[in-house]
Amino acid sequence: MKKNKALSIIALSLALIFAGCVQSKPSGEQKAEFNLGKDITVIARDAASGTRGAFHEIMGILVKEKDAEADKLVVGALEFDGTDKVITAVEGDKYGIGYISMGSVSDRIKAVSVNGIEPDVENVRSGNYSVSRPFILVTKGSESELIKDFLKFAESTQGQDITDEMKFIGASDLSEDYASSGMSGTIKVAGSTSVTPLMEKLQEAYRDLNPDVTFEMQSNGSSQGIKAALEGSYDIGMSSRELKEEEASQLNSYILAIDGIAVIVNKENPKSDLASEDITKIYTGEITKWSEIK
């Protein structure tokens, strides 16, 4: 009986210690000040992500020399396979830095200005905010009336309203309303996971106007979407990166929208503006501490 009691006390105290660890952590973290001398936690996306491709190219992390292309991402940078995980990692690490689609920025993290320019819709539209990439739809060229009609809808004012609503920047200057054409058939769409949410909304709205049209969607990444359009297995391919030359020569492309890529840091980070050279240096390992940034 005595043994019994002692054991329950041990178990109870272990449970308490554990609970204490978990609960006291956030409050303890808030008290500790931001230490500029600490190492920066560099957070990137996985090697094959469209966001990474665009960001590394724009920031000069991907270095091109004639035929060779080398990604100079610093050794030891964390790599996550999704926007949500990048956000969670930056939210949890005071010294972290990451990059995500502008449409995914929330108050869990802080999006910094780049070269003094804030990442917002206006600045991306005017071209002042340089870290942006197009959302492209590609087709094989000989598309049917139905697909043309859907693309017309995407360019119309209704389509642009949806794009704005999703916090992307419309790329069309068309100020025409779309009128239902009463078409029927199936449209098969494949490609970028970043474009998928916008595409789904567009399809929903299009179906409201043309109830006889059905969609088949496959969300499997930019390269896959382009490949599917090239092979003709899908009608429309979605891409969140610029087309390569050999792809562009074989496909018709429509810029659906422009998406800014936001550079994000922890909310406790005192920096709210970073020069693009400094971002490049952080990602290539030339700068390793926050104090090295002027």
Partner 1 sequence: MQRTKQTGINEKIMQTIFFLSALISVAAVIAICLFLFVKGMPAIAEIGFMDFIFNEKWTPTNTPASYGILSMIVGSIYVTGGAIIIGVPIGLMCAIFLAEFCPGKIYMIVKPAVNLLGGIPSIIYGFFGMEVIVPIVRENMGGNGYSIMSASIILGIMILPTIISISESSVRAVPESYAEGSYGIGATKEETVFRVIVPAAKSGILTSIILGIGRAAGETMAVVMVAGNAVMPVDKINLLKPIRTLTANIVTEMSYASGLHESALISTGVVLFVFIIILNISLSLMKSKAQRN
Nearer to partner 1, 81 or 164 (CB): 81
Contact pick of 98, 103, 221, 237 for partner 1 (by CB under 8 A): 221
Q: What is the footprint of partner 1 within residues 30-69 (CB under 8 A)?
A: 39, 41, 46-50, 53, 67-69
Whichever of 97 and 213 has its CB closer to partner 1, that residue is: 97
Q: Of 95, 99, 153, 283, which lies in the binding site for partner 1, with binding defined by CB under 8 A?
A: 95
Residues 125-164 that bind partner 1 (CB under 8 A): none
- Per-residue x/- marks for partner 1, 181-220, CB under 8 A? ------------x--------------------------x
CA dihedral 226, 229, 230, 231 (to 10 degrees): 120
182 Rama sector, left if φ>0, alpha if ψ -120 to 50, beta otherwise: left
Counting contacts by CB under 8 A, is residue 115 touching partner 1? no
Q: How many residues bind partner 1 (CB under 8 A)?
A: 44
Q: Is 92 in the site for partner 1 (CB under 8 A)?
A: yes
Q: Is 294 in the site for partner 1 (CB under 8 A)?
A: no
Q: Exactly one of 3, 141, 175, 246 binds partner 1 (CB under 8 A); which one? A: 3
Dihedrals φ, ψ of 160, to 5°?
A: -65, -35
Q: List residues near partner 1 by CB under 8 A.
A: 3-4, 7-8, 11, 21-22, 25, 28-29, 39, 41, 46-50, 53, 67-71, 75-81, 85, 88-89, 92-93, 95-96, 193, 220-224, 227
